């Protein structure tokens, strides 16, 4: 069995790994490195003008050159969940992998299909939907299992690749949340069974391995949000909120608190429309019956004018812009590309955290400064993480008892605390816990 760390081992983003067993290959995730794409687009570049190799040279998608000989052997392109740093590169890279089907849960494949349609990409490979907690056979020797877990979006899976040489578990981006607000609890029963099976390797989300304890539940974020929205003095003022557009559980909480405040909930932004529609398409939620969802630029402008005219304190606005992105609704309001005037004592609730890369930190700081100058009250970090903390990772080690541990989702600074944790649990660095860089391969 040979494992290749393709992307996401030298940076946070562009996640991609691959596994070869005999003459069969499975790839795991194909994601964007968003900071490079954002830099490029903010300098006026248009990604539609870039070829796949151009995107690789830009550093926006994984450099899959180490897989050149593996591509024709590929039996499946597997996606763990819908986040762009796991899925975004699929339309560009997957066509290099023969006619291998792309596999994902209903929400994940829905988001992929919508992306292909909206960006008018040509994509001919079969896309197959696999329900959480079920199997699909992809070749004579390989079966793929999607084990349902929780994360900051819905229908995230830990992927088990079952092969004649044993199992590889791919657990990249998840948390153990017993109160997920939308969707099912993590399937701990199934995960515990792996301790009795032959798990050769566990690829593990190490992003928060440095964080002590256990990731708080989404229920905690909901309480934080409830406190900010229902227990602060916002009578007569506008309330604007942002979160990650794909964070369906958080959006559900926002809708519910909006209705408790007797305010009409309005979603403003193309990406909010995209992820909400996808969630409705698979019948995970029914946001349209409780909120107005506006995606196109003209309609957003008209809606903001209506909000000012009919009284801003009648609305709770959920908009894009939590990272201060230039193209977001919030940034366009602050730069007068969209019509709305924030006034002193209006509320701005950031129900997210700034992704710690320079472009986001700078954009967000600029945005907050503009809000502050107008006297807007800022509530930030009303949020809990979607990633496992240190003690959750230790729990997973105990549940599945892998022979090898492969931390992923960051450079060596991010991955090292997970290596240390594995060493605490009896693994040996270089022998049974492996600190990789993008492009490295190992025989297991
Ligand atoms: Zn994710």
Element housing 297 (H / E): helix 297-310
pLDDT at 318 over 90: yes
**SS3 sequence, 151-215?**
CCCCCEEEEEEEECCEEEEEECCCECCCCCCCCCCCCHHHHHHHHHCCEEEEEEECCECCCCCCC
C-alpha of residue 233 to centroid of ligand 1, in Å: 34
pLDDT for res 47: 86
C-alpha of residue 154 to centroid of ligand 1, in Å: 10
pLDDT for res 27: 98
C-alpha of residue 430 to centroid of ligand 1, in Å: 27
Residues 278 and 359 occupy one common structural domain: yes
C-alpha of residue 334 to centroid of ligand 1, in Å: 29
Residues 151 and 45 occupy one common structural domain: yes
C-alpha of residue 396 to centroid of ligand 1, in Å: 18
Residues 207 and 238 occupy one common structural domain: no
- Give the C-alpha separation, 340 to 301, whole Å: 8
Q: What token pair was written down for 49? A: 């003008």
C-alpha of residue 174 to centroid of ligand 1, in Å: 7
pLDDT for res 48: 85
Residues 433 and 368 occupy one common structural domain: no
Instruction: Provide the CATH number for the domain around residue 128.
Output: 3.60.15.10
C-alpha of residue 159 to centroid of ligand 1, in Å: 14
pLDDT for res 388: 98
Q: Which residue has the higher pLDDT, 189 or 98?
A: 189
C-alpha of residue 424 to centroid of ligand 1, in Å: 26
Instruction: Provide the CATH number for the domain around residue 362.
Output: 3.40.50.10710
The residue among 350, 333, 342 whose CA lies nearest residue 297 is: 333
C-alpha of residue 16 to centroid of ligand 1, in Å: 13
C-alpha of residue 255 to centroid of ligand 1, in Å: 22
Q: What percent of the chain has pLDDT over 90?
A: 96
Task: Indicate the SS3 state at residue 19.
Answer: strand
C-alpha of residue 156 to centroid of ligand 1, in Å: 8
pLDDT confidence of 233, banded at 50, 70, 90? very high
Query: CB of 150 within 8 A of CB of 250?
Result: no
Domain count, the chain: 2
Last residue of a domain, one of 356, 379, 402: 379
Residues 12 and 156 occupy one common structural domain: yes
C-alpha of residue 418 to centroid of ligand 1, in Å: 18
Give the length of the chain: 444
C-alpha of residue 126 to centroid of ligand 1, in Å: 23
C-alpha of residue 18 to centroid of ligand 1, in Å: 18
Residues 292 and 348 occupy one common structural domain: yes
The whole-number average pLDDT for the span 282-286 is 97
C-alpha of residue 342 to centroid of ligand 1, in Å: 32
Residues 210 and 234 occupy one common structural domain: no
C-alpha of residue 83 to centroid of ligand 1, in Å: 5
The residue among 14, 18, 17, 48 whose CA lies nearest residue 32 is: 14
C-alpha of residue 431 to centroid of ligand 1, in Å: 28
- Give the C-alpha separation, 284 to 286, whole Å: 7
Residues 414 and 333 occupy one common structural domain: no
Q: At what angle do helices 106-118 and 270-281 cross, to 10 degrees?
A: 140
HSE, side-chain direction, 13 A CA sphere, residue 400: 29
pLDDT confidence of 409, banded at 50, 70, 90? very high
C-alpha of residue 81 to centroid of ligand 1, in Å: 7
Last residue of a domain, one of 363, 379, 395: 379
pLDDT for res 356: 82
**DSSP-derived secondary structure for 98-137:** TTPPEEE-HHHHHHHHHHHHHTT----S-EEE--TTEEEE
pLDDT confidence of 197, banded at 50, 70, 90? very high
C-alpha of residue 94 to centroid of ligand 1, in Å: 19
Express each pLDDT in 322-363 by its tens digit: 999 989 999 999 999 999 999 999 999 999 999 888 889 999
C-alpha of residue 308 to centroid of ligand 1, in Å: 36
C-alpha of residue 403 to centroid of ligand 1, in Å: 25
Domain residues for the domain of 326 are 218-379
C-alpha of residue 12 to centroid of ligand 1, in Å: 11
Element housing 78 (H / E): strand 74-78
C-alpha of residue 125 to centroid of ligand 1, in Å: 24
Query: CB of 184 within 8 A of CB of 195?
Result: no
C-alpha of residue 214 to centroid of ligand 1, in Å: 17
Q: In what order do the strands lie in the sheet with 404-408?
A: 134-137, 143-149, 156-163, 166-171, 199-205, 404-408
Express each pLDDT in 25-76 by its tens digit: 999 999 999 999 988 988 889 888 899 999 999 999 999 999 999 999 999 9
Query: CB of 322 within 8 A of CB of 314?
Result: no
- Tell whether the torsion through CA atoms of 362, 364, 370 and 376 is positive or negative: negative
**Other beta carbons within 10 Å of 374:** 14
C-alpha of residue 78 to centroid of ligand 1, in Å: 14
Beta-strand relationship, 315-319 and 264-268:
parallel
pLDDT for res 143: 98
- Give the C-alpha separation, 339 to 308, whole Å: 9
pLDDT for res 72: 97
Q: What percent of the chain has pLDDT over 70?
A: 100
Residues 97 and 47 occupy one common structural domain: yes
C-alpha of residue 313 to centroid of ligand 1, in Å: 34
Burial class (CB in 10 A: 0-12, 13-18, 19+), 350: buried
C-alpha of residue 439 to centroid of ligand 1, in Å: 21
pTM above 0.95, yes or no: yes
pLDDT for res 236: 97
**DSSP-derived secondary structure for 243-262:** --TT-HHHHHHHHHHHHHTT
Beta bridge partners of 103: 78, 128
C-alpha of residue 264 to centroid of ligand 1, in Å: 30
Residues 321 and 419 occupy one common structural domain: no
pLDDT for res 166: 98
Burial class (CB in 10 A: 0-12, 13-18, 19+), 164: exposed
- Give the C-alpha separation, 155 to 131, whole Å: 9
C-alpha of residue 247 to centroid of ligand 1, in Å: 10
Average predicted confidence (pLDDT) for the chain: 97
pLDDT for res 358: 87
C-alpha of residue 341 to centroid of ligand 1, in Å: 34
C-alpha of residue 373 to centroid of ligand 1, in Å: 34
| CA 217 vs CA 133, 148, 152, 177, 428: distances in Å | 21, 16, 10, 5, 32
Residues 154 and 296 occupy one common structural domain: no
Residues 283 and 417 occupy one common structural domain: no
**DSSP-derived secondary structure for 398-433:** HHH--SEEEEESS-HHHHHHHHHHHHHTT--BTTTB
C-alpha of residue 152 to centroid of ligand 1, in Å: 7
Q: In the chain, count of helices (H) and strands (E)? A: 14, 19
C-alpha of residue 332 to centroid of ligand 1, in Å: 26
**DSSP-derived secondary structure for 365-401:** HHHHHHHHHTT-EEE------SS-BHHHHHHHHHHH-
Last residue of a domain, one of 379, 399, 433: 379
Q: Which residue has the tokens 């290099």?
A: 96
């Amino acid at each position: 069995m040979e494992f290749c760390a393709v992307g996401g081992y030298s940076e946070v983003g562009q996640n991609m790994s691959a596994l070869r067993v005999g003459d069969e290959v499975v790839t795991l995730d194909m994601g964007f490195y968003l900071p490079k794409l954002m830099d490029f687009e903010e300098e006026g570049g248009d990604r539609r003008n870039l070829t796949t190799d151009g995107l690789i040279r830009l550093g926006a998608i994984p450099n899959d050159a180490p897989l050149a000989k593996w591509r024709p052997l590929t039996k499946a392109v597997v996606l763990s969940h819908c986040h762009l740093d796991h899925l975004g590169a699929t339309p560009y890279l997957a066509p290099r992998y023969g006619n291998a089907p792309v596999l994902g849960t209903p929400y994940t494949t829905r988001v992929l299909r919508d992306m292909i349609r909206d960006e008018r990409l040509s994509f001919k490979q079969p896309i197959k939907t696999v329900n959480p907690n079920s199997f699909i056979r992809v070749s004579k020797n390989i079966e793929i299992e999607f084990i349902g877990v929780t994360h900051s979006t819905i229908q995230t899976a830990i992927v088990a690749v079952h092969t004649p040489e044993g199992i590889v578990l791919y657990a990249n981006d998840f948390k153990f949340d017993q109160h997920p607000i939308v969707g099912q609890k993590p399937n701990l029963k199934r995960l515990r069974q792996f301790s009795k099976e032959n798990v050769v390797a566990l690829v593990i989300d190490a992003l928060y391995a440095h964080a002590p304890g256990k990731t708080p539940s989404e229920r905690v974020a909901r309480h934080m949000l409830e406190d900010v929205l229902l227990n602060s003095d916002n009578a007569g003022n506008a309330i604007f909120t942002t979160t990650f557009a794909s964070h369906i559980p958080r959006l559900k909480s926002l809708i519910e608190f909006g209705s408790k405040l007797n305010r009409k909930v309005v979603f403003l932004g193309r990406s909010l429309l995209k992820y909400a529609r996808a969630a409705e398409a698979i019948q995970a939620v029914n946001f349209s019956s409780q909120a107005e969802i506006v995606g196109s630029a003209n309609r957003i402008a008209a809606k903001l004018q209506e909000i000012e005219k009919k009284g801003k304190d009648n609305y709770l606005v959920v908009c894009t812009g939590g990272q201060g992105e230039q193209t977001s609704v919030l940034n366009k309001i602050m730069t007068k590309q969209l019509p709305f005037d924030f006034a002193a004592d209006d509320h701005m609730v950031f129900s997210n955290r700034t992704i710690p890369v320079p472009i986001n930190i700078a954009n967000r700081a600029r945005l907050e400064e503009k809000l502050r100058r107008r006297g807007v009250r800022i509530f930030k970090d009303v949020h809990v993480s979607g990633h496992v903390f240190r003690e959750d990772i230790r729990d997973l080690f105990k549940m599945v008892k892998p022979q090898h541990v492969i931390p992923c989702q960051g450079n060596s600074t991010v991955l090292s605390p997970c290596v240390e944790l594995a060493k605490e649990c009896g693994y040996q660095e270089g022998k049974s816990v492996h600190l990789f860089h993008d492009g490295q391969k190992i025989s297991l």
